[in-house]
Amino acid sequence: MNGKNPLVSVIIPLYNSQRYISETIESVINQTYTNWELIVVDDCSTDTSREIVKEFEKKDSRIRLVESQVNFGGPARPRNIGIEHTKGEFIAFLDSDDMWLKDKLEKQIDFLREYDYDIIHTSALTIDVDGNNIGHLNNQRVHDRLHLLFDDLTILSLSNYININTVLMKKDINIKFREDKNLIALEDWLFWIENLFDGKKFYYLAEELIKYRIDMNSISARGTDKSYKKAFYMYALLLNEKKISYMLFLICSIINRLKIVGRRIKRKLNK
């Protein structure tokens, strides 16, 4: 880590989030760790999202709005545009409808002052569309249950246990999301798999440091047949690039297929 208080570059991909974007930006402004820059990348919003961000930009020189010329339809391209504009030693990602607790960055930076990891992530509180607390999100339990049997790459291929909004990571020249529309809503999962494959060191900080909004109408909503089919596509890419074995491809594909069948059976039983 270079310096006592390194600059953290925060990237928010934005599209038609006028209802939530103020709360999201305020959660960054309210951080107890203050050496950050915020880059909001608008993906051609048609509501008042851009105007809201511009008001924040006028009041705080750490905030910048970058406007995409073409709508990509998902967060991969806006995140990559944001990465291209970063100046910080560390990068953090935040979706336009989620929020950080005020000590999120401070706790992560304090940890990285003591320990050498590339990517640190945490658990999360969950809120509904109106901001009411509804529970806890701890995907790490999947890892904890399986780590005695499988390596981290296998576990991460089976289940994405990393919430991108909780992450703080070291910046390097190879950080880039796949801009593939067949991977929309799964681009972060593939991003973690590829970082792990490249030898990046991950650490889970067992604290709830964000508020993750659950909205089944969001493109990031998990558990739909469409998301499972996209997972098949992702596994095929990884197999073709020799980043997972054929055996792991088969295991992941079978489990994915069982999830689709199980979901359909559950729907029928609930009718």
What's the pLDDT at 228? 82
Would you say 63 and 25 are in contact if contact means Cβ atoms under 8 Å apart? yes
Return d(Cα 89, Cα 101) in angstroms, integer: 21
Would you say 228 and 159 are in contact if contact means Cβ atoms under 8 Å apart? no
DSSP 164: G
Q: Supply the Cα-derived Rg of the chain in whole angstroms.
A: 18
Return d(Cα 263, Cα 256) in angstroms, integer: 11
Within 8 A by CB and 6+ apart from 18, the residues are 45, 47, 48, 49, 52
Would you say 213 and 128 are in contact if contact means Cβ atoms under 8 Å apart? yes
What's the pLDDT at 219? 46
Q: What is the pLDDT along the chain (271 residues), one digit of tens a residue?
A: 766 899 999 999 999 999 999 999 999 999 999 999 999 999 999 999 999 999 999 999 999 999 999 999 999 999 999 999 999 999 999 999 999 999 999 999 999 999 999 999 999 999 999 999 999 987 788 788 888 889 999 999 999 999 999 999 999 988 999 999 999 999 999 999 999 999 999 999 999 999 999 986 654 455 556 778 899 999 999 999 999 999 999 999 999 888 888 877 877 777 6
Would you say 99 and 131 are in contact if contact means Cβ atoms under 8 Å apart? no
The pTM of this model reads: 0.92
What's the pLDDT at 114? 94
The secondary element (H helix, E strand) that includes residue 152 is helix 152-158
**Coarse DSSP helix, strand, coil percentages of the chain, rounded to the nearest 5 percent:** 40, 20, 40
